[in-house]
Amino acid sequence: MNRPDPKDYTSQYQFDRDMRDYQKYMEHKQMTKTIVGGGIATTVALVALTIVGGSWYTVDQGERGVVLRNGAITGTAEPGLGFKMPLIDRVVDIDVRTQAKVYENVLAYSRDQQTAGLTLSVNYRVPSDQVTTVYENYGSVDALASRMLDRQVYDEAKNVFGRFNAQTAIQERSRLVAEVQSAIQAAVSGPIIIESVQIENIDFDDAYERAIAARMEAEVEVARIQQNAEREKVTAEITVIQAQASADAKLAQARADAAATRLRGDAEADAIRARGDALRENPNLIGLVQAERWNGQLPTTMLPDSTVPFMNMNQ
């Protein structure tokens, strides 16, 4: 739109009207330029900010980054802040911390054909130096576990459990767990480390569990009876020992009494022999003993022609 020329107008009113239109046009044009210029500047700023902001990345502790350039692996990134080429590079995080996966109701049969549902938990991790292999072949840790771990856990748990009787699986659970862990570790190969395997629960068929409960009750009753029998046996042995001790004591006492009696008899016999020897050697010893024991009194009555006792005046 050209600026109105007064020479072209014969009416002042018409000129003023076109002049106002021209001024509005110029103001609108200037505003449009300002808006367009500001938009371009804003766009440039946003693009620059995007480029600058997209040049940096962070990797958390416990993870490793796989650096991709246009989709191709170019290297790995350690935890921390890093720089990458904007727009063409990106970083995919791979978790290298220990993770746990639970497998519930793994159906298995024991060697004696008992059905059981196993609940297992597996602790595993990805080696930090094999994150590129994980991304290249599996895409993620979850996909790795699904493809490499799940099938082996089910198969090896069933195989190992099948080598145990139901009762043995319960009584030797630690051995069962150790063998299941060893079997899974041997079966799984690749960029994954099996740290441990635990059997959280063994759920047998209800009928078998009732049979186990009944058998346990019977075993407890048998153990109780055996304990009572052992106690009675010990009591009887104690009674026998006590009776034997009492009999031995009485026998010992009887032997002691017999020995004492024998000694007294021997002593009395020796005394009699000694007296006999003394009398033979000294016949007057009897009279001396009689005189020593006489109280000095004579008998009040005497038979005719009898002599006074203990008196022998001729000696």
Q: Are residues 154 and 244 in the same domain?
A: no
For residue 180, list its beta bridge partners: none
166 within some domain: yes
What is the pLDDT at residue 86? 81
Q: What is the arithmetic mean of pLDDT over 29-41?
A: 69
41 within some domain: yes
pLDDT digits (tens, 9 = 90+) for 236-245: 888 888 888 8
Q: Are residues 254 and 166 in the same domain?
A: no
Closest CA to 287 of 315, 259, 250: 315
Q: Are residues 144 and 67 in the same domain?
A: no
What is the pLDDT at residue 313? 47
Q: What is the arithmetic mean of pLDDT over 181-209?
A: 90
CATH value at residue 153: 3.30.479.30
302 within some domain: no
163 within some domain: yes
Q: Are residues 214 and 173 in the same domain?
A: no
Q: Are residues 145 and 225 in the same domain?
A: no
Helix (H, G, I), strand (E, B) or coil at 6: helix
* Percentage above 90 pLDDT, the chain: 35
Closest CA to 96 of 148, 60, 58, 57: 60
Q: Are residues 90 and 105 in the same domain?
A: no
Q: Is the pLDDT of residue 48 over 60?
A: no
230 within some domain: yes
pLDDT digits (tens, 9 = 90+) for 10-21: 666 676 676 777
pLDDT digits (tens, 9 = 90+) for 50-75: 555 557 888 999 999 999 998 899 98
pLDDT digits (tens, 9 = 90+) for 85-124: 887 888 999 999 999 999 999 999 999 888 999 999 999 9
312 within some domain: no
Report CA 136 to chain centroid distance, whole Å: 39
Structurally, the chain folds into a number of domains equal to: 4
46 within some domain: yes
Q: Which of 30-39, 228-237, 296-305 has the lowest mean pLDDT?
A: 296-305
Q: Are residues 170 and 183 in the same domain?
A: yes
181 within some domain: yes
**CA–CA separation, 67 vs 71, rounded Å?**
9
Q: Are residues 112 and 170 in the same domain?
A: yes
**CA–CA separation, 197 vs 171, rounded Å?**
18
pTM above 0.75, yes or no: no
Give me the domain span that covers residue 176: 96-204
What is the pLDDT at residue 201? 93
